[in-house]
Chain A
Amino acid sequence: MKKFFIGFAFVSLLIAGVLSYFASGDPDGLDKTVEDTGIAEHAQEHPFSGSTFADYALGGDDKFTGLAGVLGVVVVLAVSFGLFWVLRKKSDA
């Protein structure tokens, strides 16, 4: 049981930490739609666009995308595991 969970976490780390360097930089479907129609002109700057890890980089340097990805994996795992562990039914109750 533990082996599966560790393996699953490792796969996520590998995807976010390494495979992320090979991601397409082109706009996604929604971004492409709003760019091609001019809706994007109304988009506002993200309030946190100047933050350390904005756009999955480190201070705007996307050489560190993998690092940002690993950080994201750790944060999402901690938050979600914590929430779901608290919400769960106790099995030995």
Chain B
Amino acid sequence: MHMSDGLLNAPVSVVLLAIAAAGVGFALVKARVDLDDRTAPMAGLVATFIFAVQMINFPILPGASGHLLGGALAAILVGPYVGALCVTIVLVVQALLFADGGLTALGANITNMALIGTASGFLVAVALRKVAERGKGGLAAVAFVSAFVNTLLAATGFVVEYAIGGAGGVEIGKVALLMWGLHALIGIGEGLITAVTVTSVASIRPDLVHLLKGSRKPLEVRS
């Protein structure tokens, strides 16, 4: 879902850079509370995992693919603020080192995938926390649904941005229909990857799943 430069006009790109900077700045301030000697390494590994999995485009239709965005995955495992930073780091490294995602488009890409994706995934997960606490099946279902929503809303971010200041003047209904249709399919993949990842972590180290924090008796801290 990485936009190249030129798809959005300059004013919209600049506004989105400012929104991204403000959002990432806010996350930097708030993330501190969720980071300690145990969760800081976990957060680094979550960012790394998202980078790796984003390399794996999976087919959705003949001639079209999708890849993980990772917002819900990060939010469930390390919380929304640290999670947004994880996705942001991935996007910055991809743009600078691998020429994946434009530079003036970086604000838009961070806004859609790191901010909208992580926030929406987290809000859905928190709303469904009671289900997630019921056990592995519940957690898998919540992970799936929050990831599906994060994909659709990140896609919606592009639709809105294109409507405001997109290049080419293509009818917005056409853009929206394609984006939502394709990302409904990609969202299923995102949901499956997120569900498998989160339940795997939860079965080995439930204490490292941010969403489940405080939901059970404090576990012994192994070191």
Chain A residues engaging chain B, CB cutoff 8 angstroms:
1, 4-5, 8-9, 11-13, 15-16, 19-20, 22-30, 32-34, 36-44, 46-49, 51, 53-56, 65, 68-69, 71-73, 75-77, 79-81, 83-85, 87-91
In the complex, the answer to whether A43 meets B5 with C-beta atoms within 8 Å is: yes
B161 to chain A, nearest CB (A): 11
CB-CB nearest in chain B for A9: B45
Which of B46-54, B115-123, B124-132, B137-145 binds A? B46-54
- Judge whether A81 and B40 touch: CB under 8 Å: yes
Across the interface, name the chain B residue whose C-beta is closest to A82: B44
A-B contact count (CB 8 A): 217
A-B contact pairs, 26 of them (CB 8 A): A1-B222, A4-B204, A12-B53, A15-B55, A20-B52, A22-B56, A26-B64, A28-B66, A29-B185, A30-B1, A33-B178, A33-B179, A37-B175, A39-B162, A39-B167, A40-B4, A42-B168, A54-B98, A55-B99, A72-B93, A76-B90, A80-B43, A80-B47, A84-B43, A87-B35, A88-B35
Binding site for A on B (CB under 8 A): 1-7, 28, 31-33, 35-45, 47-49, 51-53, 55-60, 63-67, 82, 85-86, 89-90, 93-94, 96-100, 102-103, 155, 158, 162, 166-168, 170, 174-175, 178-179, 182-183, 185-186, 204-205, 208, 222-223
